[in-house]
Chain A
Amino acid sequence: MIHSLFLINNAGDLFLEKHWKSVISRSICDYFFEAREKAVEPDNVPPVIRTPHHYLINIYREKIFFVSVIQTEVPPLFVIEFLHRVAETFQDYFGECSETTIKDNVVIVYELLEEMLDNGFPLATESNILKELIRPPTILRSMVNTITGSSNVGETLPTGQLSNIPWRRAGVKYTNNEAYFDVVEEIDAILDKSGTTVFAEIQGVIDACVKLSGMPDLTLSFMNPRLLDDVSFHPCVRYKRWESERVISFIPPDGNFQLMSYHISAQNLVAIPIYVKQNISFFETGSSGRLDITVGPKQTMGKTVECLVVTVHMPKVVLSANLSATQGTYNYDPVTKILLWDIGKLNPQKLPNLKGSLSLQSGAPKPEENPSLNIDLKIQQFAISGLKVNRLDMYGEKYKPFKGVKYVTKAGKFQVRT
C-alpha cells in the first residue's frame, strides 16, 4: 500500500513528508527530480517512476507535486485517485491547495494525512467524516479555541464510518432546507482548419448542494434520460434503480458533492455553439506574418455566448503582435508566446474580429509548426446536450424543501487547428 508521501513545489523544494510505514529517506526523491528535469515542463513528468526498490507515483496539482512511494504491487490508479483526494481535501479545508496554506496549517495537514491513511490503507477520505474528526480552520474558531481552550479535533466517534451510508452524518439540521443542482456541460472538441469537427464530445457533471435535515431520500428524474448511456455515479446512487427505471435515487451526502458525471460522445448530439474563421500566415521573407480571426455563433439555440476568450499559442519566433480588435481586448505575452483575446459577450449582429500583423525575430526562418487556437466560452441556462431535469422528489422527511436546477455550458478542451 502507500508507503510515504512527499510534497514538492515547482522549484523542486521538498516541503512536507509523511510516512505511513517505516521512514523512507527523502533521497528517494532524487529519482523524481531526475525525471522532473528530463520532462522540462512540470506537466510532462511521467506519473509512474520506477526506482530500484520502490515505485514513485505522482500527480501534479496546483503547482505542487504529490509524490507517493510504494513498495508492493498496488494498483497505480488507486494511488493516483487517493492523491487527488488528498489535494481536494486540502482545497476543501484551506480554501486553496498551495504551498503556503499547507505550510500554514502543517499540523492539520499532518492530522488529515494520518486520518486518511492507516498503514497505507485508506481510512477516512469522505470530507463529511474528516470534518467530524478534524474541524477545518476558521478565523473565528481559532480565536474561540485560544479563549476557551477547545481543540479542532472532534471528540466523538465518526458515526458515519459505521453506518451503511458512510457519506452522510446523522442528525443533520437546517432551518432552511434546500437542494440545488447544477448541470454543467463542457464541450471537448477539435475543429480542423476548415471548421469541420474532427472530434467532439460532452463531459457533463451534475454538482449538488444539498442542505436537508434528517435522512432525506431523493429521486431525480430526467425528461430525456436516454441521452445518458455512459455515466459515473457518486457511491450514494442506487445503481439498480437507474438500470431499471432510469431515475437517480439516493440519500445525499450533506453539503456539496458531485452527484454524477456523464459523457456524451455521439457526434450528432454534440452541437458546436460557435464557428471560428481564422487565417494565420507567415511570410517566407520579411520576418512577419498576418493574423485574422472572426468568431460567430453557430448552434446556440438562441442563447447568448458569454465569456468568450480566444487563446493562440504562437510559434517561438513571434516577437510581437500589432492587431486591432473590433470587440474586447487582446494581449500578447512575448515570454509565454500566448496571444489572449478576451471578447466577452458574442453579439450575433456584429461579429468580433481581430486582425493585424505579427512580427517575427529578424532572420529567423518561417515557423515550422502551426499555432492552434483554444476557445473558452460560457452559455448560461443551457445544457448543450439538451439534458433536462424533470423533477426532484423527496421521501423519508416531512418538511418541504426548496429545490432548484441550474444549467451551464462551457468550453472544455476546445481547440481549433490552423
Chain B
Amino acid sequence: MLLSVTGEIFELKAELNNEKKEKRKEAVKKVIAAMTVGKDVSSLFPDVVNCMQTDNLELKKLVYLYLMNYAKSQPDMAIMAVNSFVKDCEDPNPLIRALAVRTMGCIRVDKITEYLCEPLRKCLKDEDPYVRKTAAVCVAKLHDINAQMVEDQGFLDSLRDLIADSNPMVVANAVAALSEISESHPNSNLLDLNPQNINKLLTALNECTEWGQIFILDCLSNYNPKDEREAQSICERVTPRLSHANSAVVLSAVKVLMKFLELLPKDSDYYNTLLKKLSPPLVTLLSGEPEVQYVALRNINLIVQKRPEILKQEIKVFFVKYNDPIYVKLEKLDIMIRLASHANIAQVLAELKEYATEVDVDFVRKAVRAIGRCAIKVEQSAERCVSTLLDLIQTKVNYVVQEAIVVIRDIFRKYPNKYESIIATLCENLDSLDEPDARAAMIWIVGEYAERIDNADELLESFLEGFHDESTQVQLTLLTAIVKLFLKKPSETQELVQQVLSLATQDSDNPDLRDRGYIYWRLLSTDPVTAKEVVLSEKPLISEETDLIEPTLLDELICHIGSLASVYHKPPNAFVEGSHGIHHNCILMLIVYNTGHYCPSGDLLGDLLNLDLGPPVNVPQGSSMQIGAVDLLGGGLDSLLGGDLGGGVGGSPAVGQNFIPSSVPNTFAPSPTPAALSSGLNDLFELSSGMSIATGGYVASKTVSITGHYVHMFYCLYFFCCVFSFGVIPTTPLAMHTPLMPSQSIDISLPLNTIGPVMKMDPLNNLQVAVKNNIDVFYFSTLIPLSVFFVEDGKMERQVFLATWKDIPNENELQYQIKDCHLNADTVSGKLQNNNIYTIAKRNVEGQDMLYQSLKLTNGIWILAELRIQPGNPNYTLSLKCRAPEVSQYVYQMYDAILKN
C-alpha cells in the first residue's frame, strides 16, 4: 500500500513539472482528488506551488485549494506563495481579487498573516462589493489565527464601518463576521447596536441572501428596543420573514418576535395579531425534513411552555406518524402532553393508546408514561386515563404492563384513595414484573393500601423470597412496605416484619438498607405510636409537571431560540467552547456529579469548559503561577477519576500518610453550613459541608452530608474537590455507589491536600460544587472558613517579625474593628493559638494590651497582626499587615469568628 502511494506521488511529481499546461492541470486535478480522499500529498507542495503563476482561472483555483489544505504543514514553502497573493489582490478582475483575499485567509500560517494585512485593508475598501464582502469574512478568519493582530490593525473598526455599506450582502457578511468574532469576546460590545444601525440592518434584511438574513435576525435579537413603538416597528419589518422557504430564517424570525413580544402591551391589537401570526410558520416547520422537524420541535417545546396560547389549537400536527424517526416521535409526544388540556384530552388519549401498540419499545414506554402524565395534569381526565392504562395492562405485553404500573403509582400519589378498585387487576400481573422500577412501584402500592388488600401479606412475602437478589431500590421499598403493613395489620404480620428486618439488618451488605432496617427496628420497638406517625404520615402530593423548565432559564432560552442552547435546553453559555475568554475567577472546590437536571449556574459550567485539557494555561491576572488544567466535561468522569487532576494527585506517596483527621485538637470546627443549592425548582437534595484542619497544615478533611428531598434516588455520586486559591484538591476522587434515598443523609469524609493547581479566586474562600448523578448536574457554592488554611508552624521569630513588619509597606496595613468581645488578652491568645494564630509578644501600652501575632497560610503567605485590647472596651482594634493584602479581609473575618465562638 505504502509502495503504491509512493509510486503514485512520483508519477504526479513528474506530471506537475510537465511542460504542457494541460498536463499540469490534469496533474493538479489528480492531486486534489487524492487529497479529498485523505491521501497525504503534502510532499508535492513545491511542485504544486510552481503551478500557481498562471492565468488559467481553474488551475489557479485548484492550486489555491491545495494551498489551503497543506500550507500549515509547510509554512516555509507557503511564504513563497505570498507574492502571488499580493499580486492577485491587485488584479483588474474582481473575481480574482476576491479569490485571492479569500484564499489568503484560509492559509493558517502565523508567519504569513502579517503580509496579508495590507492587501486585506485594500480589499475592505474595494470598489467592488463582491470583494468587500469576501474581505469581511477574511477578517473573521484572521481573527481566528491572530486575534491581537486584527485588533491592532483596526480591522474590527473597518468591519463595523461595513455595517453601513450600501450593499446588503456586504452588510450581512460584516454582521456574520462580527458575531463570530464576538463569540470569543463575550464582554466586548463589538456590535454596538443603535437605532441607526438597526435601521440599516432591517433594510439589508430585505435584500440579502437567506443566510445573510439568518445572521442579521440573530443579531437583531440581541438588540433591546428603547420603547414599545420601536419594538413594534422592528416586529413589523421582521414578520414577512416568517414566510421564508428557509426554515432557519423562519426560526430566527420567530426568535426576534418572541423576544420583542415581551415589550409590547398585552392588550394591544398588534400583540394579538402577532401571536396569531406565529402559529402557521411553526406548523409549517413540521412539514420539513425530519432533522428540521427535530430542531423545530425542541424549540416549540420551549415556546409552548412560554406561550401555550400560540399552538394550543394545533395539537393535531404533533400526532405521531409511524414512519417518523424515533427522535421526532419522542419530541412530539412531549409537546402533546404539554398541550394536553381538558378540551383535547379525549383525542390525546386515543392517540396515546394507539402509540402504546407500536413496535418501538422506547416509544411505547414513553407513550404509557405520557398517559400517566395526562392523568396527573388534567384532573378531569384521570379516570379515563386510569381505564386506558387498565386496558393496556390487559394486553399483557410485558413492558407495557410494567410501565403502566409505574405510572399508576404516580396517579395514586396524586389522587390518593380514589382508584384503589383497580388494585386487584394490578395484583394479577405481579408475576410478570421483572424490572426493578415496576416491582418497586407494585410493592409501594401494596404497602400503601395494605389495609384494603386482603392478601397483602402473602403478596409481599412472595417478594421476600429472593430478597437478596433484588435491586437496592426494591429492597428498600419492600422493607418500608412491610413495615407499613405491620403498622396497619400488626396481629397477622409480626413474623413477616421480623423476617424482613433481620434480612435487612443482618444479612445485607448494603449500609443504606441496614441503616433503614435499624431505624425501623428501633422505632417499632421503642414507640409504635411515633412509628405510625413517621411511617404512615401523609405524603406531599406530587406536582403536576415535574419537567417544566425553570422560568428564568426559559426566558433566557427563548432569547436563544434556534441556537444549540435551545436544542439542549441548557443555558447558552453553558456548553460551547470559547464562548468565554480565560476568566477563571472561581474557586472550584468540590465537584459532585449527578445527571439529568439542568445546571442553574451556567457561568461555572462555562468556566469549567474553558479549562482545557492539555498543557497548562497561563493565568492572566498577573499571576505567574500556572494551573494544571482539568477537563471536566471533556474527559467526563474518566478524567476525573483518572490521574488528570492537575497532575498533582495521582501517585503522591505523602498523601495517605499525612491524612490524620482525628489528631486535631481544639480546632475551630464550624457547624456545617448548608451550601447554597442554586436550584430554582424543587430542591432535590441538600449538601452541607464542614471542614477541619489536620495538624500537617496542608491536609484537611472534608465532611459532606447529603440529604435527599425527593422521591428520586441518587446513584453514583462523584466528588471532586479543589480550592484553587490554596491548591486544595482531594487526594483521591470519591465515588458514591449506593443510592441516596429521600430524606436520607450520608456523611462522607474526603481527604484533601494542597498540592493542587493554584489560582486566585474571588472571594478567596469561595467553594463551588458540581454534582452529577442520575438526575442531572447540580452546582453549589458556599464559603469555607479560612482558618483551615492556617498552618501549625505559623509562629515567627521576634526579630523576624519586627523586620518583616517594617519591611511590608504601610499601605498594606489594614485596620479592622472587632466589636462586642468580652475576653481578656490571655484568653484571646489561647483561643487564637488553638487555630494556629500565634502570639509572639504582648506589651502593655498606656493601659492597653497590645498583642503581636503571626500566622501562615498553606501557600506560605505570612500575615502579621497587631491586636489592641482596651480593658473595659468591648471593641478591639486589629491591624493586619501582609504582602498580599487581599487576604486580610478574610483573616479579619476569622478573628471575628474565632473570638466570638
Contacts and interface: CB of A to CB of B under 8 A. Distances in A.
B36 A235 contact: no
Contact of A71 (B93, B283, B359, B578): B578
Contacts of B292: 77, 80-81
A162 interface: yes
7 tightest A-B contacts by CB? A230-B280, A153-B58, A77-B248, A151-B58, A52-B634, A122-B211, A47-B291
A316 B395 CA distance: 18
Contact of A155 (B57, B62, B246): B57
Residues of B in contact with A, size category = 35 or more
A232 interface: yes
B868 interface: no
Interface in A285-320: 313, 315
A294 B218 CA distance: 53
A415 B633 CA distance: 44
A311 to B, nearest CB: 10
Given A44-B326, A48-B564, 14 more contacts: A47-B291, A73-B572, A82-B211, A119-B141, A121-B176, A149-B21, A188-B321, A232-B250, A232-B281, A235-B245, A265-B314, A372-B322, A413-B321, A415-B322
B620 interface: no
Interface string B238-256: 0010011111101110000
Interface stretch (A108-116, A345-353, A387-395, A396-404): A108-116
19 contacts: A18-B36, A44-B325, A47-B291, A48-B567, A55-B564, A59-B291, A73-B572, A75-B251, A77-B295, A77-B562, A80-B248, A81-B247, A81-B248, A119-B141, A153-B57, A156-B95, A239-B243, A369-B357, A369-B359
**Interface core residue of B140, B252, B289 (most chain A CB under 10 Å):** B289
Residues of A in contact with B, size category = 35 or more
Contact of B218 (A75, A122, A265): A75
A43 B210 CA distance: 28
B302 to A, nearest CB: 14
Interface stretch (B101-109, B258-266, B537-545, B813-821): B101-109
Contacts of A15: 37
Nearest to B572: A73
Interface string A139-179: 00000000001011111111001101010000000000000
Nearest to A51: B634
A121 B72 CA distance: 21
B797 interface: no
B22 interface: yes
**Main SS class of interface, B:** helix
Interface string A112-135: 001000110110011000000000
Contacts of B419: none
A268 interface: no
Contacts of A41: 325-326
A121 B170 CA distance: 13
A203 B321 CA distance: 15
Nearest to A110: B36
Interface in B181-217: 183, 207, 209-211, 214
Interface string A205-236: 00000000000000000000000011111110
Contact of B323 (A110, A370, A413): A413
A370 B395 CA distance: 12
Contact of B248 (A59, A75, A111, A155): A75
**Main SS class of interface, A:** mixed
A128 to B, nearest CB: 12
A283 interface: no
Interface string A1-43: 1000000000000011111111100100000000000010101
B183 A73 contact: yes
Contacts of A106: 32-33, 36-37
A262 to B, nearest CB: 8
A201 B29 CA distance: 50
Contacts of A359: none
Interface in B275-299: 280-281, 283-284, 287, 289-292, 294-296
Given A17-B36, A111-B65, A161-B169, A78 B211 contact: yes
B301 interface: no
Interface of B: 21-22, 25, 29, 32-33, 36-38, 56-59, 61-62, 65, 69, 72, 93-95, 102, 105-106, 108, 128-130, 134, 137-138, 140-141, 144, 167-169, 173, 176-177, 180, 183, 207, 209-211, 214, 218, 240, 243-248, 250-252, 280-281, 283-284, 287, 289-292, 294-296, 314, 316-317, 319, 321-323, 325-327, 347, 350-351, 354, 357-359, 395, 397, 562-565, 567-568, 572, 575-579, 631, 633-636
A202 to B, nearest CB: 10
Nearest to A370: B357
B568 A78 contact: no
Contact of A16 (B37, B169, B634): B37
A98 interface: no
Contact of B579 (A23, A55, A72, A233): A72
Nearest to A186: B287
A255 B357 CA distance: 47
B577 A76 contact: no
**Interface core residue of B33, B167, B322, B633 (most chain A CB under 10 Å):** B322
B563 A73 contact: yes
Given A52-B633, A81-B246, A73 B565 contact: yes
A52 B246 contact: no
Contacts of A111: 61-62, 65
A84 B102 contact: no
A415 B567 contact: no
A49 B634 CA distance: 14
B238 to A, nearest CB: 12
B384 to A, nearest CB: 17
Nearest to A157: B95
Contact of B130 (A110, A162, A315, A413): A162
A99 B350 CA distance: 43
A137 to B, nearest CB: 13
A52 B635 contact: yes
A229 B319 CA distance: 21
A274 interface: no
Contacts of A413: 321, 323
B22 A149 contact: yes
B211 A121 contact: yes
A46 interface: yes
**Interface core residue of B59, B69, B354 (most chain A CB under 10 Å):** B354
A368 B358 CA distance: 8
A52 B608 CA distance: 12
B190 to A, nearest CB: 14
B293 to A, nearest CB: 9
A151 B56 CA distance: 9
A78 B214 contact: yes
A364 interface: no
A55 B576 CA distance: 9
A107 interface: yes
A203 B183 contact: no
Contacts of B95: 156-158
Contacts of B562: 75-77
Contacts of A156: 95
A265 B283 contact: yes
A52 B564 CA distance: 14
A16 B247 CA distance: 27
